Structure 1
Amino acid sequence: MKKFSLLIALFSGITFVSLATEPANSSPSKKLKLWYNKPAQYFEEALVLGNGRIGATVYGGTDTDKIHLNDITLWSGEPMDPNMNPQAYKHLPAVREALKNENYKLADSLVRKLQGKFSESYAPLGDLYIDFKSSSVKNYYRELDLEKAIASVKYDAGNQTISKEYFVSYPDKILVIHLKSSQAKGLNFSVRFGSKLKYKSKSTINHLHFQGVAPVRADPNYVRKKGNPIIFKENQGTRFSADVLLQSTDGQVARTDSTVSLSNATEATILVSLATSFNGFDKNPQSQGLNDDAIAQEQLQVASRKTVVEMRARHIQDYQQYFKRVSLHLGGEQAPELPTDDRLRRYAKGEKDPYLETLYFQFGRYLLISSSRTLGVPANLQGLWNPHIQPPWSSNYTMNINAEENYWLAENTNLSEMHAPFLSFIENLEKTGKITAKTFYDAPGWTVHHNSDIWAMTNPVGDFGNGSPSWANWYMGGAWAATHLWEHYSFTKDDKFLKEKAYPLMKGAAEFCLAMLIPDKNGNLITSPSTSPENRFITPTGYQGETAYGGAADLAMIRELFQDLIEADKILKQDASFSQKLQDALKKLYPYQVGKKGNLQEWYFDWEDVEPTHRHQSHLFGLFPGTHLTVENTPALTNAAKRTLEIKGDETTGWSKGWRINLWARLKDGNHAYKMYRELLKYVEPDGVKIEYRRGGGTYPNLFDAHPPFQIDGNFGGAAAVAEMLVQSDMHQIYLLPAISDDWKVEGEVKGLKARGGFEIDMAWKNGQVVKLYIKGVPGGKTTLIVNGTSKEIQIAKGKKVRIL
């Protein structure tokens, strides 16, 4: 197994099954790249690089080249106190009594007593600037090569050509910037650093060293309170170090305390090493923190002994072992060769562009590899790339969809290792979540609410009573997150992971859910209180409420988790009594209801929504990402889910659109899924040139998802949906081309997609029919294949790849 997988297995107990497959070829069409004919002016035009911990956002300027620097472990705050509201549970009976009496206004008021602090914020480490002596520029070209994870810039300046190359190496833990002039001694530039955080600097001959600290508190950008929202305190907060080394075989180096410059050089390399003192969610980053200064310097020293050619080769080899597992080629009329932003503009007018559709899919995979390789620290709302000291929604882990949506593509697009940061984060949540369950609900097990952060915060948010219950008091985050543990098992069939990691965590989440279920007046089990994420209802009296009981979203997530655990125990055969308890509870759960409009009811009663087109569709969880509602087995309920989507419409935010594409794919409606995929790629101008935000989401010039503003979950959800349109599966069946659109039917080829049961799919199709098919049984086993309208049982030995068609 590759080095990264071994490290994950060693440190987290998560093991992965070796793929041992020949690398999939890249797209038969042309190189997968984003490219532009001008430098970036705004963040949403810049190119992003990352090794799962260090992030670089490259603008590619000719006078000044700005590069945002991030470290995924640099956040405001310190380890949380999960006992922040120890008497909160005493208010739960009053909330339930108000709901029993149908007094929803009182319940909305009382439930605010079950709130705690807001999450902390992901922090920007700083900015690197490379200042060049100005000259006229022609023939500018900037690109991001997705197949190598390398950004490059090239332009003519006067009588010379300047070339710049950037990559962030996982093996060498370093950002590498290589500069070259076509004319001898043609490079003249200086390097400086800036940060929105507190820092100090020093220099030696060709080395800059910066040390700083993150705030001990950074309020969310949507909170308006008196005083400074950003608080620094002496000897508190996470430290960071940034080391910059300038290497050149010719030219003259000069320095100040905060800059280093090079003149009359032909070639140069800038190495940037970053480190923080973060040492775990429960360790004080000051008194128990890592030695960020020593780590940054050691990383720099080790890398500086290698040539750029060596580091580049190591970087490419490491990256491609993941990226090249999957290739996709969509046939049909190809668009002219245009800069990526112009391709998006052309596509928005209704033109066809299969290459752009493939590029977006592979860009999602690129982003996950680049932002999710740090155990216990998953990709956040902006993945890894954030220039703001108060980022949108704190760039935190929003557990009512967004954090989970980041990982929908991990398993089916063959990036199981990148799932590990989120799966190991669940282990952290379980530890603080036990205290949250006890202090807020007097319940066993563990849970997490609307928001979390690097410190594994699990409490209801809202600033102790100031938050809207529709989001602040939603407590099903543990149930939702825990389904990812079974999802990982479903694709890998890793029995060791299931027994040692997944089952205990899933059971703890289920124990909390069992405790939160109470009988309604008819003896059905319901949750009370209950909210449906960020949505509100209208009672027959006209009250617009947030807190109710027996919400369909709660019960859908509980159903999925309970069914997963029951299946897990059939494999492990070690917890029969608990499995029986879950089966008994499932029989008593308040069933799904179909409303008068033919829709799947979101609330216990057939109430109207305050906002019928609301972006959340949490009560459709059982259809996707859950698996217990299917066109084949529950047609009446899936028809009701379809009607719900029709009522909501297609116009929604970026991440929500990504979710709805997956839902339409599960409904086997490829044309509707494709329609919305096209809408997800709607061109959106950078935030800095917008007059105002327009609802509906879309895609920025650099292919970032426009929520708006930027949230990476739309990228991940959209990429996952492409795979869902081509391959769907459960533990017993694999459906090929279940939701392929008319536009994609003509011809195409995909290699390396994964199916549940641990199978890997290579196939080609023409006119909507699979004409070539190879299936590999990674762990091996039986499944039923549904292809070209027929079903076929197959059995594939472990590690064997078999041609079916």
Structure 2
Amino acid sequence: MNSNLKNTLFILLFATFCTKMSAQSNHVLWYNQPAEFFEESLVLGNGKLGATVFGGANSDKIYLNDATLWSGEPVNANMSPDAYKNIPEIREALKNENYKLAEELNKKVQGKNSESFAPLGTLEINNSEKGKAVNYYRELDISNAISKVSYEMNGIKFTREYFVSAPDQIMVIKLTSSIKGGLNFDINLKSLLKSNVEVRNNILVMTGSAPIHENAGYTVLPKYLQVKERGTRFTTLIQIKKTDGKITSSRDALSLKDATEAYVYVSVATSFNGFDKNPATEGVDDVSIALQNLNKSFAKSFDKLKEAHIADYQKYYSRVTLDLGKTTAPDLPTNERLLRYADGKEDKNLEILYFNYGRYLLISSSRTPGVPANLQGIWNPHLNPPWSSNYTMNINLEENYWLAENTNLSEMHLPLLSFIKNLSVTGKVTAKTFYGVNQGWAAAHNSDIWAMTNPVGQFGKEDPMWACWPLAGAWLSTHIWEHYTFTQDKAYLKTEGYPLMKGAAEFLLGWMVIDKNGNLITSPSTSPENQYLTLDGFVGATMYGGTADLAMIRECFDKTIKASKVLNTDVAFRSKLENALAKLHPYQIGKKGNLQEWYFDWEDKDPKHRHQSQLFGLFPGDHITPEKTPDLAAASKKTLEIKGDETTGWSKGWRINLWARLWDGNRAYKMFRELLRYVDPDGKKTDKPRRGGGTYPNLFDAHPPFQIDGNFGGAAAVAEMLVQSNENEIRLLPALPDAWETGSVKGICARGGFEIEMNWENKLIKKLIISSKTGGKTTLINGDKKQEIVLKKGENLEVKF
């Protein structure tokens, strides 16, 4: 064979190999240049340690976060012991329809603002020799939670591989050079927080502390960085393991010279010891924890660490697989795929990738007890992050967990459930001191790692439309029931879940008042972050009998009643809830055919407002359905039509789920496509900027700015389009769009402890296997066909329709 023919064959074989290797993927994000902006970076996490990798050639930058590093210290829940004394006066003003006075008085029922999720630091790997990188490639493979970078410079091929391990609580970076001695780099650490960096025994050590501060609004006070001997301590340790070459150090940097292969180990710990322990005086020993994790990991080989990391991660990730049929989309970098998709082109594997990425992000950000994923998951580079990167509980925190149960990640729900338990402790004090209710517990709009439950607003300085809202407990308690219905874990429900649900319901019983028609309502009330316009032109937020309040109370009472029946307990209390449910002010349909948001048929100040809290009963609640309550479902649909489809990222995520619950798959799909609309990084200057709600180049949700809730809401909606369920029935393909006429899914969960595997063609189910984790019965519904099944624990059944 002549050399030309050999070369031709080699090129063809190589091209075929590359096509197979890099065929358009549903589990790999890839790019042909380093990240310049945060919204282009690739994120890794083990549920506690978060790493944001930029992948630069001459200089690689990695932001580090720890889920437990927040400003502040345990909250003084009794911060305003007499605030509740203003409630009667507010109620009187509302009774007299004096909304302006009620609005002003409502400011007297405000407390401190939340603390902030803090940026731990930045790790930099700087190459000693600079040059132009060619053949650059960067990826995140979410099937194994590993990121890679490769490029050539001055004739040398360099590679890096990154992962953050949950079993070993360590980040590891592997660096290689294609020629012997080609690795020459320095490593340094810096932090925006008060910190000290030094090298000890060839270990780069950064210690510091997060600040104590009253977050006045969302601006950093000068004292933020200057309080000594207070706040959460943190430690970061970095050590290099080499195969050859020489490690040297300066006062505050590590260097490796003339190496061929090397490993960088990154260990992080904080002194956080629970929401109610002072991290400075009662904190854990962050230095010894970080050192222990480093030493244990350093003694293991890279391959062993990687193997344990992948096995642990895939245990969760591999439970669900989704296929949406054939795709003709070309293989492109992820940012270019998004741009092409935004122009209306087909890319089914990008849709699957987005779904898979949502599950990846939850596994990566929600594995620390009592510390759920925050507004940015666990990835925040800002000293003063948007909205403090806190727990916003009038939708955003809850939306983070919509995919936990139905996409088979129940364990990732546990950090939220244990956080709710923390809230119930401070919330007992809040119920008494802010609302005058001596039973149960309450939580408000915002919280933080310290389980703050008071209404925010800087003690009267901020707008009641977002600051004054005491219904978070009602919403959060429904997550407890969700966890039970999917897992059938009666022991959890009995020992932890039901007492929390009961506490939330007790507060609501004590909070409601009787209106002029003899119905139960809330007063004062607000509808999250929205404002009404009265007939005489007043714009306000404070009112009585808001639909959102009553929808959440309906759901809370209904689920608490069900829980008491499951446990066969609390008959007298159950009766109280049943009586209260019957007396709740009913839903009202307005003159436009919409589901009224306000007690009266007022106009909205912003008819297209991002919140749609009055539709809570449709989703995430389930007491409004097209079948059970057709009039209310039709009014919900009208509300969504009035609001339109153009909104922020997380709001799009919610609306997709709402359209799915209305069984309108094509409208849900239209909005899903809009959620995946390309958005430029926040700092990028461009002639034709692409802004608004959608998706950044790294698939992060653009509120804008970045908020992770849209990722979670969008992924949850895909599952909701394919399977919907309640305690008694499972509805298959209830909102399947025409675009997904053929496909398959395995591992989606349904209430009752069931798991679904099915494939479909031309929108008809061809194969269906249902399995039961605990044993039980349910009714399967597909279109107008119904079939009741009974399964034993662990049993699988193939069902024919």
Corresponding residue for residue 499 of structure 1: 494
The separation in 1 between residues aligned to 2:791 and 2:219, in whole angstroms, is 59
CA RMSD of aligned residues (A): 1.4
Instruction: Indicate which of 316, 322, 327 corresponds to 2:321.
Output: 327
Using a 3 Å threshold, how does the CA distance of structure 1 residues 31 and 248 change in structure 2: closer, same or farther? farther
Residue pair 1:334, 1:355 contacting (<8 A) in 2 also? no
1:709 lines up with 2:705 in the alignment: yes
The separation in 2 between residues aligned to 1:128 and 1:646, in whole angstroms, is 48
Per the TM alignment, residue 326 of structure 1 is displaced from its structure 2 partner at its CA by 0.1
Per the TM alignment, residue 206 of structure 1 is displaced from its structure 2 partner at its CA by 2.6
Instruction: Indicate which of 414, 421, 430 corresponds to 1:427.
Output: 421
Taking the TM superposition and a 5 Å limit, the aligned residue runs for 1:340-359 are: 340-359=334-353
The separation in 2 between residues aligned to 1:31 and 1:349, in whole angstroms, is 20
Per the TM alignment, residue 752 of structure 1 is displaced from its structure 2 partner at its CA by 0.1
Taking the TM superposition and a 5 Å limit, the aligned residue runs for 1:48-447 are: 48-132=43-127, 133-217=129-213, 219=215, 223=218, 228=222, 230-443=224-437, 444-447=439-442
SS where residue 217 of structure 1 aligns?
coil
The separation in 2 between residues aligned to 1:135 and 1:686, in whole angstroms, is 26
The separation in 2 between residues aligned to 1:556 and 1:568, in whole angstroms, is 18
SS where residue 263 of structure 2 aligns?
strand
Per the TM alignment, residue 574 of structure 1 is displaced from its structure 2 partner at its CA by 1.1
Residue pair 2:136, 2:150 contacting (<8 A) in 1 also? yes
Corresponding residue for residue 549 of structure 1: 544
Once the two structures are superposed, residues 185-234 of structure 1 have per-residue CA deviations (whole angstroms, 9 ceiling, x without a partner) of: 111101000110011122134311110001111636x5469x52724311
The separation in 1 between residues aligned to 2:604 and 2:207, in whole angstroms, is 51
Amino acid of the residue matched to residue 512 of structure 1? F
The separation in 1 between residues aligned to 2:37 and 2:777, in whole angstroms, is 51
The separation in 2 between residues aligned to 1:232 and 1:49, in whole angstroms, is 31
Corresponding residue for residue 480 of structure 2: 485
Per the TM alignment, residue 545 of structure 1 is displaced from its structure 2 partner at its CA by 1.1
Corresponding residue for residue 9 of structure 2: none
Amino acid of the residue matched to residue 570 of structure 1? K
The separation in 1 between residues aligned to 2:348 and 2:186, in whole angstroms, is 42
Once the two structures are superposed, residues 362-417 of structure 1 have per-residue CA deviations (whole angstroms, 9 ceiling, x without a partner) of: 00000000000000000000000000010000000000000000000000000000
The separation in 2 between residues aligned to 1:169 and 1:381, in whole angstroms, is 23
Corresponding residue for residue 719 of structure 1: 715
Instruction: Indicate which of 587, 603, 627 corresponds to 2:622.
Output: 627
Residue pair 2:679, 2:691 contacting (<8 A) in 1 also? no
Amino acid of the residue matched to residue 727 of structure 2? M
Instruction: Indicate which of 34, 39, 52 corresponds to 2:29.
Output: 34
The separation in 2 between residues aligned to 1:686 and 1:30, in whole angstroms, is 23
Taking the TM superposition and a 5 Å limit, the aligned residue runs for 1:436-585 are: 436-443=430-437, 444-585=439-580
Per the TM alignment, residue 249 of structure 1 is displaced from its structure 2 partner at its CA by 1.9
The separation in 2 between residues aligned to 1:594 and 1:579, in whole angstroms, is 29
Amino acid of the residue matched to residue 216 of structure 1? I
The separation in 2 between residues aligned to 1:149 and 1:695, in whole angstroms, is 29
SS where residue 238 of structure 2 aligns?
strand
Per the TM alignment, residue 28 of structure 1 is displaced from its structure 2 partner at its CA by 12
Residue pair 1:121, 1:218 contacting (<8 A) in 2 also? no
Per the TM alignment, residue 332 of structure 1 is displaced from its structure 2 partner at its CA by 3.4
The separation in 1 between residues aligned to 2:691 and 2:475, in whole angstroms, is 27
The separation in 2 between residues aligned to 1:629 and 1:231, in whole angstroms, is 49
Corresponding residue for residue 19 of structure 1: none
The separation in 2 between residues aligned to 1:282 and 1:48, in whole angstroms, is 30
Residue pair 2:722, 2:732 contacting (<8 A) in 1 also? yes
Per the TM alignment, residue 553 of structure 1 is displaced from its structure 2 partner at its CA by 0.3
Using a 3 Å threshold, how does the CA distance of structure 1 residues 315 and 411 change in structure 2: closer, same or farther? same
Instruction: Indicate which of 771, 786, 793 corresponds to 1:791.
Output: 786
Amino acid of the residue matched to residue 509 of structure 1? A
Instruction: Indicate which of 628, 636, 639 corresponds to 1:641.
Output: 636
Instruction: Indicate which of 580, 605, 608 corresponds to 2:600.
Output: 605
My pick for the range that moved more, 305-314 or 152-161, is: 152-161
Amino acid of the residue matched to residue 116 of structure 1? G
Residue pair 1:112, 1:469 contacting (<8 A) in 2 also? yes
Once the two structures are superposed, residues 143-171 of structure 1 have per-residue CA deviations (whole angstroms, 9 ceiling, x without a partner) of: 00010000000111122210100000000
Residue pair 1:333, 1:354 contacting (<8 A) in 2 also? yes
Per the TM alignment, residue 670 of structure 1 is displaced from its structure 2 partner at its CA by 0.1
What's the TM-score once normalised by structure 1's chain length? 0.95
Taking the TM superposition and a 5 Å limit, the aligned residue runs for 1:649-664 are: 649-664=644-659
Residue pair 1:681, 1:699 contacting (<8 A) in 2 also? yes
Instruction: Indicate which of 723, 727, 731 corresponds to 1:731.
Output: 727
The separation in 2 between residues aligned to 1:589 and 1:690, in whole angstroms, is 52
Per the TM alignment, residue 30 of structure 1 is displaced from its structure 2 partner at its CA by 4.7
Using a 3 Å threshold, how does the CA distance of structure 1 residues 162 and 419 change in structure 2: closer, same or farther? same
SS where residue 462 of structure 1 aligns?
coil
The separation in 2 between residues aligned to 1:687 and 1:82, in whole angstroms, is 37
Amino acid of the residue matched to residue 294 of structure 1? S
Corresponding residue for residue 46 of structure 1: 41
The separation in 2 between residues aligned to 1:721 and 1:215, in whole angstroms, is 38
Using a 3 Å threshold, how does the CA distance of structure 1 residues 773 and 274 change in structure 2: closer, same or farther? same
Once the two structures are superposed, residues 73-104 of structure 1 have per-residue CA deviations (whole angstroms, 9 ceiling, x without a partner) of: 00000100001110001110000000000000
Using a 3 Å threshold, how does the CA distance of structure 1 residues 331 and 28 change in structure 2: closer, same or farther? farther
SS where residue 643 of structure 1 aligns?
helix
5+ long unaligned stretches in structure 1: 1-26
SS where residue 260 of structure 1 aligns?
strand
SS where residue 358 of structure 1 aligns?
helix
Per the TM alignment, residue 791 of structure 1 is displaced from its structure 2 partner at its CA by 0.3
Per the TM alignment, residue 695 of structure 1 is displaced from its structure 2 partner at its CA by 6.7
The separation in 2 between residues aligned to 1:575 and 1:102, in whole angstroms, is 39
The separation in 2 between residues aligned to 1:787 and 1:554, in whole angstroms, is 33
Using a 3 Å threshold, how does the CA distance of structure 1 residues 554 and 797 change in structure 2: closer, same or farther? same
The separation in 1 between residues aligned to 2:670 and 2:768, in whole angstroms, is 27
The separation in 1 between residues aligned to 2:338 and 2:62, in whole angstroms, is 24
SS where residue 689 of structure 1 aligns?
coil
What's the TM-score once normalised by structure 2's chain length? 0.96
Corresponding residue for residue 679 of structure 1: 674
SS where residue 222 of structure 2 aligns?
coil
Once the two structures are superposed, residues 640-661 of structure 1 have per-residue CA deviations (whole angstroms, 9 ceiling, x without a partner) of: 0000000000000000000000
Residue pair 1:205, 1:254 contacting (<8 A) in 2 also? no
Amino acid of the residue matched to residue 260 of structure 2? T
SS where residue 597 of structure 2 aligns?
coil
Amino acid of the residue matched to residue 200 of structure 1? N
The separation in 1 between residues aligned to 2:605 and 2:97, in whole angstroms, is 18
